[in-house]
Amino acid sequence: MDKIRNVKILILEDDLQTVEKIFECLRSAEIGMGVSFGATVIPDYIQVEELINKNPQVKYDILLLDRDCFLGGSFHVVNLDNFDKDKVISISSVPEANQKMFALGVSHYVLKDFSNLDLFAQKLKQEIQSLL
């Protein structure tokens, strides 16, 4: 029997419908890949500052990074130096936000399209699988 690989994933996203699609994507990716995802969802930038930036010893294998949050701030406050930038996926619906992350060394992105979240989830699954 093959050993299951545990993958810790941090999801910085506030939209529940998007979070639901991401979880469906992760569940689908687990099947047949020999991985088990441990997912943490943080819905606002204040929690990012308090729980992630102030605790660099907490490590994640993959970071899914949206831009805006419902409190009016940005998830881009996350300290990217605490992550392997090759394992960060920018998931903003704003192309310029994904380009900004690219300029900061993040080479993976999936443009979120609220009119077709199923396609977004399909592309995200492919991107996550490429990181594994």
Per-residue pLDDT tens digits for 52-109:
999 989 999 999 999 998 888 999 999 999 999 999 999 999 999 999 999 999 999 9
First to last CA, the chain: 19
| Number of independent structural domains in the chain | 1
pTM for this model (two decimals): 0.93
Per-residue pLDDT tens digits for 7-25:
999 999 999 999 999 999 9
In which domain, by residue range, is 48 found? Answer: 5-131
What's the chain's Rg over C-alpha atoms? 14
The CATH number given to whatever domain includes residue 16 is 3.40.50.2300
Residue 33: predicted pLDDT: 84
* Residue 4 CA, distance from chain mean position: 21
Kindly tell me if the per-residue pLDDT of 1 is higher than 70: no
